[in-house]
Amino acid sequence: MAIMAAIGIAGGCTGDLSALEPAGPSANSIARLWWVMLTASFLLFSLVIGLFLAAVFVPGFGRRIAAESWIVGGGIALPLPILFVLTLYAFWQGEHLLRGGGSLSPDIVRIEALATRWNWQFGYPDLPGAPPTLGTLHIPAGRTVEIAVTSEDVIHSLWIPRLGGKIDAVPGHTTYLRLRADTPGRYGGQCSEYCGTGHAGMRFEVFAHAPEDYPAAVDHQERQ
C-alpha cells in the first residue's frame, strides 16, 4: 500500500526538470538507482512496521527471543546485507555514468561550459569557427557528449536532469560530464549549487538536434 502511494506521488514528478522522466542513458541510470533504493527502503520500512505491529497486537510475539538477539539481528544482520547490495549497485551505476551511460566510444562530441554569475556560456571546439552560445546548449542526439565544465567566479553546478547527473563548476579546475540525448528535443538545465542572489534564475536550455542538423543549428543560432 505504501509503495503504491509513493509510486502515485512520484508519478507527478514530471516536467522539464524531472530526473524521473529520463531522456537518455545516463539519466535512465540515475532514475533506476532512485527506484531501486526507494523500493528497498520501503521493504525495510514495511518489515520493521510489521514486526512492531506483531509485537503490539500478537500476544507473546518475540518474547522467546532475547533483547540482545533483536538488536543484533534487527540492527546489524538485517540491514547490512541490504545496504551492501545497494552500495555495490550504486558503484556499478556510477561506472555506467562515467561511460556516458554506455560503452566508451571514440566518437564523442566535445562541449565547453563556462559558468558565470549568473549564466552559462557554451563553446563548441569540434565546430571550428562556431562562436559560443549564451544560455543555450546545442548537442547532437544519439551521440555521447562530453562537457568540460569550469567557472570564472564561484562554485556552480551544471545539471540537465532529463539527460544526466550533476557536475560542479569549480574556478581554476575543469570537471567532465558525459551524457546523451536519445532523441531530438528541448531539455531544461540549471545551476544546482547555490551561488548567490541570482542563483534561482541561472537556467539554460538544451536543444538536441539530429546529427546531420547539428552544425547548421549552432551556426543559425548565432546568426539570428
DSSP secondary structure of 24-68 = SHHHHHHHHHHHHHHHHHHHHHHHHHHHHHHHHHSTTTTTTS-HH
Q: Is the Cβ–Cβ distance between 115 and 137 less than 8 Å?
A: no
CA–CA separation, 156 and 118 (whole Å)? 9
Mean of all residue pLDDT scores within the chain: 86
pTM: 0.79
Calculate ∠ Cα 40-44-49, nearest 5°: 145
Q: Which of 37, 71, 98 is the last residue before a domain boundary?
A: 98
Tell me how many degrees the CA angle 124-125-128 measures, rounded to the nearest 5.
95
**Is 7:1 a contact under the CB 8 Å cutoff?**
no
Quick: pLDDT tens for 145-158: 999 999 999 999 99
Q: Is residue 104 part of a domain?
A: no
- What is the model's pLDDT at position 69? 82
Please state, in angstroms and rounded to a whole number, the distance separating the CA atoms of residues 190 and 188.
7
Q: 214 and 128 in one domain?
A: yes
Both 50 and 131 in one domain: the answer is no
pLDDT band of 52, cuts 50, 70, 90: confident
Q: What is the pLDDT of residue 96?
A: 72
What CA–CA distances, in Å, run from 171 to 115, 155, 157, 196?
Answer: 9, 7, 11, 15
pLDDT tens digit sequence for 156-198: 999 999 999 899 999 999 999 999 999 999 999 999 999 999 9
d(CA 36, CA 80) in angstroms, rounded, equals 16
Same domain, 113 and 168: yes
Counting the structural domains of the chain, the total is 2
User: Taking the alpha carbons of 203, 210, 140, 215 in that order, is the dihedral positive or negative?
Assistant: negative
Separation between Cα atoms, residue 172 and residue 152, nearest integer Å: 8
Domain co-membership, 119 together with 181 = yes
Among positive and negative, which fits the CA dihedral 26, 29, 31, 33?
A: negative
- Which among 58, 77, 98 is the end of a domain? 98
Q: What confidence score (pLDDT) does residue 93 get?
A: 81
126 plus 211 within the same structural domain: yes
Termini Cα distance of the chain: 54
119 with 206, same domain: the answer is: yes
CA nearest to 133, candidates 166, 108, 111: 111
* Phi, psi values for residue 110, rounded to 5°: -95, 135
Same-domain pairing of 150 and 215? yes
In terms of C-beta density within 10 A (0-12 exposed, 13-18 middle, 19 or more buried), how is residue 179 classed? buried
Question: How long a stretch of residues is the chain?
Answer: 224
**The one-letter amino acid at 30:** I
pLDDT, tens only, 72-127:
887 888 888 888 888 998 888 887 777 665 544 568 899 999 999 999 999 999 99
Residue-range definition of the domain harbouring residue 192: 109-223
Confidence band, pLDDT 50/70/90 cuts, at residue 206: very high
**Looking at the domain assignment, is residue 17 inside a domain?**
yes
Q: Do residues 52 and 118 both lie within one domain?
A: no
**Boundary-marking domain end, from 98, 130, 156:** 98
User: Does 125 lie in the same domain as 59?
Assistant: no
Same domain as 86, residue 141 = no
Q: Looking at the structure, do residues 213 and 121 belong to the same domain, yes or no?
A: yes
CATH code of the domain containing 184: 2.60.40.420
What is the average per-residue pLDDT within 39-60?
Answer: 87
| pLDDT the model gives residue 222 | 53
* Sequence-separated (6 or more) residues with CB below 8 Å from residue 10: 20, 38
Question: Are 116 and 192 in the same domain?
Answer: yes
